[in-house]
């Protein structure tokens, strides 16, 4: 257990149906009602605390992702009505779209406990065995970055997911014996930013895969407006739209930009966020009108100015911008591809005409034209 990186029990509050009043605008920091009154969200000093505060708690409170919400609602309600634990759920999508939030919501909606760990923490099968054997019936086990789990742990997980049973090896060498261990039925929720890296057998054992998509500006505007209310800052509707449209389709970025714009508004005026303050602050923090940040633009520049628009391999691009290939691949590329700026080809990454135009350059003749 010593090497389990992040192990914690989160006991969700009762489902709204099971309690007298439920205020959806209440801060979502998971504290009891009394503590909620005592700890106002605005008094949180750490930014990480704020991120926790901003997590929606229930499916009803979760903004956007209508397809995933509807599908998950069916899966959870169906299982609840039949009195069984729901199928295992895989949440897949780029960082910051709400995978961890959704895992917490699943436990909340089921009214059960959430046990959290992550793939890199499950180095040995024993680490996983310890987690699994501690689960109570109906618990939700959340494994973040499940694609980074070590092979022996993954193989143990196959049997646990399918039969709620594992074989624990005791001893070493010829004297080693395998002891079968029954597990309480549980629901595994796995999250991954790289579903392509999951092995076939693991992917097949999930009964439902939720593909989280980038958010549209309308939904992100709701995210910004909700967050502003929770952290207690006043914001004009057009300023909320401005922040939302520059958030790369990602709620985590929307919340982060809101906090930066708030800093700007507090330092430069009375703290109220209007459109002018939002625009000025986003210039200061290097976020352009498409929402691309410094790293996104560095990737485009390396691709276009360094390699004539490609094709170029992702590791070459990563070296050029001083980042890990996985960061370029998992953080920058999904949005640049969706924004129609780069395309992934068998020979490497290629800049589209939109990317050339975005950097203020004339695209070479004959380049594939995409809508800008
Ligand atoms: N639908 C939503 N409505 C409002 N806020 C959201 C929503 N989804 C995510 N957020 C906010 O975005 C932040 C990031 O979400 P979360 O941590 O769940 O992302 P993630 O997909 O797990 O990211 P990573 O892959 O980096 O772990 C949360 O703190 C939460 O406040
Ligand atoms: Mg997460």
State what percent of residues in the chain have pLDDT above 90: 57
DSSP character at residue 60: T
Residue 208 annotated as lining a ligand binding site: no
Sorting pLDDT into bands at 50, 70 and 90, what band is 178? confident
Pairing relation of β-strands 140-144 and 187-192? parallel
The class (CATH top level) of 217-284 is mainly alpha
Neighbours of ion ligand 2 (CB under 5 A): 99-100
Q: Between 15 and 188, whose confidence is greater?
A: 188
Residue 29 pLDDT > 70: no
Sorting pLDDT into bands at 50, 70 and 90, what band is 82? very high
Residue 232 pLDDT > 70: yes
What does the alpha-carbon distance between residue 94 and residue 115 come to, in Å, rounded to a whole number?
A: 22
What does the alpha-carbon distance between residue 315 and residue 326 come to, in Å, rounded to a whole number?
A: 9
CA of residue 79 to ligand 2 center, whole Å:
25
CA of residue 159 to ligand 1 center, whole Å:
30
Across residues 162-180, what is the average pLDDT?
A: 86
| Contact call for residues 321 and 285 (beta carbons, < 8 A) | no
Alpha-carbon Rg of the chain, whole angstroms? 23
CATH entry, 294-371, from 3.90.740.10, 3.30.413.10, 3.40.50.720, 1.10.10.10: 1.10.10.10
Q: Between 5 and 315, whose confidence is greater?
A: 315
| Contact call for residues 167 and 159 (beta carbons, < 8 A) | yes
DSSP character at residue 18: G
What does the alpha-carbon distance between residue 332 and residue 212 come to, in Å, rounded to a whole number?
A: 16
Task: Indicate whether residue 71 lines ligand 1 (CB < 6 A).
Answer: no
Range(s) for CATH 1.10.10.10 in the chain? 294-371
At 219-231, the pLDDT tens digits run: 999 999 999 999 9
Range(s) for CATH 3.40.50.300 in the chain? 7-211
Q: Which fold has domain 7-211?
A: Rossmann fold (3.40.50)
C-alpha separations of 371 from 338, 358, 364 in Å: 12, 12, 16
Of the listed ranges 16-20, 27-31, 192-196, the one predicted with least confidence: 27-31
At 279-332, the pLDDT tens digits run: 999 999 889 888 898 889 999 999 998 888 879 998 999 998 898 988 888 888
Sorting pLDDT into bands at 50, 70 and 90, what band is 66? very high
Q: What is the mean pLDDT of the chain?
A: 84
With a CB cutoff of 8 Å and minimum separation 6, the contacts of 339 are 290, 292, 354
Burial class (CB in 10 A: 0-12, 13-18, 19+), 333: buried
Sorting pLDDT into bands at 50, 70 and 90, what band is 362? confident
| Ligand 1 atom closest to 212 (CA) | 21
Minimum CA distance residue for ligand 1 atom 28: 55
Residue 36 pLDDT > 60: no
pLDDT of residue 141: 96
| Ligand 1 atom closest to 65 (CA) | 1
């Amino acid at each position: 257990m010593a090497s389990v990186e992040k192990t914690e029990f989160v006991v969700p509050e009762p489902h709204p149906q099971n309690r007298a009043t439920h205020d959806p605008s209440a801060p979502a920091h998971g504290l009891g009602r009394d503590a909620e009154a005592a700890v106002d969200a605005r008094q949180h000093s750490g930014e990480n605390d704020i991120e926790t505060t901003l997590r929606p708690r229930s499916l009803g409170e979760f903004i956007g992702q209508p397809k995933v919400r509807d599908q998950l609602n069916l899966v959870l309600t169906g299982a609840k009505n039949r009195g069984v634990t729901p199928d295992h759920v895989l949440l897949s999508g780029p960082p910051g779209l709400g995978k961890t939030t959704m895992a917490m919501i699943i436990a909340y909606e089921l009214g059960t406990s959430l046990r959290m760990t992550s793939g890199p923490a499950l180095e040995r099968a024993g680490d996983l065995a310890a987690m699994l054997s501690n689960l109570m019936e109906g618990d939700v086990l959340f494994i973040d970055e499940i694609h980074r789990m070590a092979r022996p742990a993954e193989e143990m997980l196959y049997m646990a997911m399918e039969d709620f049973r594992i074989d624990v090896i005791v001893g070493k060498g010829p004297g080693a014996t395998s002891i079968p261990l029954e597990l309480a039925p549980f629901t595994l929720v796995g999250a991954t930013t790289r579903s392509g890296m999951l092995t076939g057998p693991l992917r097949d054992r999930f009964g439902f895969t939720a593909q989280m998509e980038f958010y549209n500006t309308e939904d992100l505007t709701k995210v910004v407006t909700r967050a502003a209310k929770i952290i207690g800052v006043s914001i004009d509707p057009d300023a909320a739209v401005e922040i939302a449209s520059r958030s790369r389709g990602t709620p985590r970025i929307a919340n982060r930009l809101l906090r930066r714009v708030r800093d700007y508004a507090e330092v430069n005026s009375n703290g109220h966020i209007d459109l002018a303050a939002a625009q000025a602050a986003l210039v200061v923090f290097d976020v352009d009108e498409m929402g691309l940040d410094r790293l996104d633009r560095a990737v485009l520049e390396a691709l276009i100015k360094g390699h004539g628009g490609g094709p170029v391999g992702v590791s070459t691009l990563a070296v050029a911008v001083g980042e890990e290939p996985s960061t370029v691949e998992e953080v920058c590329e999904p949005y640049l591809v969706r924004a129609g700026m780069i395309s992934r080809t068998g020979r490497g990454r290629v800049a589209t005409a939109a990317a050339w135009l975005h950097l203020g350059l004339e695209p070479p003749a004959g380049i594939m034209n995409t809508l800008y």
